[in-house]
Structure 1
């Protein structure tokens, strides 16, 4: 006689299965996340005994599927469309996550207003904005401040999922925004709003609504202190697109990055700037990261960084101060704090630019963060320029990875970086020794850090 299958326990955070209940998941480390699941009966006799369900519509050949049902619709915000892959796909579910106060609700309210604004003269595009965290009056005040008042934009302050479905049935909007998924409550599901069971049930129900009705759904998600989306990891598997809206509270710069996208690439980046009247897209962000001046001072080098597939110019500044301390300070802002001391060590050992008795401060301009090795040569030349008091040549960009032997290594996407620098008016580039040419731009190729420093030392 065959033994009956025992129930299993599954972690709601990562899906790890265990034969018995565990207090802490050995896979992801979550506490109290295991739930009991009944065994799945897959014997042939039981499959024959179970009644089949007649499908509501027959299976179609893939060539017979109507392509117009998945036509991408623009949101009216170019930077968001860039990250999404050109727009919103009907029936898709997009999860926008970010830290508190970064501007998630403001951005989606402007998306709803732009969406409703495109309905003028057509009468087919309406947006329903559901807020469970604020009152309708608070959202109205924000809409007045950001210029998001539109006749085709409807607002509902509800936290019950059943009532939200009632609004959808009566209004039949072409876009649904829910702010936020962790504050919605699904009847008949145990747990408090924001818990594992409730978050999973709310997301699954809204995903089913989107797939059945073809209405795109935008969800606001909270993040934990580690920067991950709050709630079970299954949320990211249920939705079609996961976006992360990030920014420093001390800076107005906001970056929108794709973490998951079933309809496009995840290497595109959208740039926004938060102002008093809302969040504005920045189609050309390089200007935010450069100091606008006629003359280039010493201790400054301009480089081209890649954020995904998007090249952006960034300015690196270095300040070198003599000190009598036995442990000179190394302060780094906006750069990889582990690579800056390495570059300083290479300058000392390979180029005799000793900083053992000096404090060195290295930072980027405009709040941009650059972590790739391509910025190494900009750090080295900016520091050497600060030590000698001689600036780099005017309208010059610098890029290259510095090795421990003092060699300058190649960087990826060099052609695209140089094309962006030329577009912004830079006429000379100091790059690793490689075969490349840009019409109208002088390319200075160097193989070692000493060759690069000779351009400053004369």
Structure 2
């Protein structure tokens, strides 16, 4: 009998190599090749074109049952999911250790169980006593959750097959699960893929909402094979800084809803509390204007969130290379914006250190933040504060023009609701609302003139 060949699979791109290498030859990532158990090879007589069960094709205009959802009792969780969990769906939730994944799911399971539905929580990392201690600290000890500590997928599915399928099944975490059908230790590529496949198949066949907790790598990606994210229906990321109070639940993939909705929570002593007005977390409460500070109405799905952008300019006396430090925004975007300000407006940033920070630990990816960043930079350079109750938004092009952005009116209305009286954005791209005046800015030169004219 021929000796089976070893096969190494890249956890990032899925490429296959027959020998281990430190760097993947396809995606150039380091230390991502993991040995996979050899596959069973069939003889040539095993022809897959016969011997199977004939499938039935359907047309697109056939009547379909309306999508049913189960609310979790947490409005912010339901918002990120698109309205609640769908029976028979598989949800993968990733996040850094200690960010609050287990706490959030325990609170959601308790809310569903208290509503009269069956909820099962399987922990592969903690003993049942540890989970009960957390539940007692959160005030959830009276919730009728079925709790177990297990790592064998066969044991879990055998136990669940004896009774009525639950409404919610939480597995914490998928990297600790083990299938005896596959060789290898828990957490390997083959084990994670096989365990997830068996759990997802059970959920689909029995109409169970399945939530899998996933570990993340140092880069923030979910550990394990990339195919795991393709197998599930929803991929969620629980983000936040441990030094800050807020947590953001973001949908990266959602087959049953939008992927741009977020849920905002605040970590408190008795668990995660929902935040109905997240703008108050990211805005400072000062009453005096400060140079280098601009407020930007970011848009997360259908929810505007106002955040404060802070800039600091430090002039250098020597010929040292100036630093560019960015927290919460793309450093490449800052470099482009500084180049446009120097080239189109004649401002000198080359001999100064530039520090940019998004207050509250918030991370911005909206291109509409360009104008707010530019306003903060010009204000810090001129040492002239911007109007206290003003917001800034707009995308800056390489020519220095302010380009229109999506949902300008929604940003303006949310700013007016929070007490701001002035909004500055692209020309002819917004409208004034009650108690708020909209000012259009055509280019960066107009922005510089406006800031320099500020008293």
TM norm structure 2: 0.86
| 1:178 CA drift (Å) | 0.8
Provide the secondary structure at the position in 1 that maps to 2:122: strand
Structure 2 match to 1:333 = 327
| 1:66 CA drift (Å) | 7.2
Cα distance in 2 for partners of 1:359, 1:15 equals: 38
Structure 2 match to 1:264 = 257
Q: CA RMSD in A?
A: 3.2
Structure 2 match to 1:366 = 360
Cα distance change of structure 1 residues 198 and 128 upon mapping to structure 2, 3 Å threshold? same
Cα distance change of structure 1 residues 336 and 45 upon mapping to structure 2, 3 Å threshold? closer
- Answer whether contact 2:416 2:433 (CA < 8 A) is retained: no
Q: Kindly report which structure 2 residues correspond to 1:39-438, keeping only aligned pairs within 5 A, or say none.
A: 47=49, 50=51, 67=65, 70-119=67-116, 125-170=117-162, 172=164, 173-327=166-320, 328-438=322-432
Cα distance in 2 for partners of 1:65, 1:339 equals: 48
Provide the secondary structure at the position in 2 that maps to 1:67: coil
| 1:84 CA drift (Å) | 1.3
**5+ unaligned residues in a row in structure 2: which ranges?**
none
Cα distance in 1 for partners of 2:238, 2:128 equals: 24
TM norm structure 1: 0.86
Provide the secondary structure at the position in 1 that maps to 2:79: helix
Provide the secondary structure at the position in 2 that maps to 1:71: coil
- Answer whether contact 1:21 1:35 (CA < 8 A) is retained: no
Structure 2 match to 1:3 = none
Cα distance in 1 for partners of 2:114, 2:356 equals: 45
Cα distance change of structure 1 residues 237 and 386 upon mapping to structure 2, 3 Å threshold? closer
Cα deviations by residue, 1:295-348 (Å, 9 ceiling, x for unpaired):
322221111123355421111122233431323333322222233344344444
Aligned length: 442
Cα distance change of structure 1 residues 64 and 148 upon mapping to structure 2, 3 Å threshold? farther
**5+ unaligned residues in a row in structure 1: which ranges?**
1-6, 120-124
Cα distance in 1 for partners of 2:14, 2:360 equals: 43
Cα distance in 1 for partners of 2:48, 2:367 equals: 60
Cα distance change of structure 1 residues 246 and 42 upon mapping to structure 2, 3 Å threshold? farther
Cα distance change of structure 1 residues 154 and 381 upon mapping to structure 2, 3 Å threshold? same
Provide the secondary structure at the position in 2 that maps to 1:105: helix
Cα deviations by residue, 1:417-449 (Å, 9 ceiling, x for unpaired):
222222222221111222432332311112122
Provide the secondary structure at the position in 1 that maps to 2:360: coil
| 1:192 CA drift (Å) | 0.7
Cα deviations by residue, 1:179-210 (Å, 9 ceiling, x for unpaired):
11111122232111111222122111111111
- Answer whether contact 1:84 1:264 (CA < 8 A) is retained: yes
| 1:36 CA drift (Å) | 4.7
- Answer whether contact 1:13 1:33 (CA < 8 A) is retained: no
Cα distance change of structure 1 residues 43 and 306 upon mapping to structure 2, 3 Å threshold? farther
Cα distance in 2 for partners of 1:410, 1:77 equals: 35
Cα distance in 2 for partners of 1:384, 1:46 equals: 67
| 1:40 CA drift (Å) | 7.1
Cα distance change of structure 1 residues 300 and 92 upon mapping to structure 2, 3 Å threshold? same
| 1:454 CA drift (Å) | 2.5
Cα distance in 1 for partners of 2:60, 2:386 equals: 59
Cα distance in 1 for partners of 2:145, 2:14 equals: 42
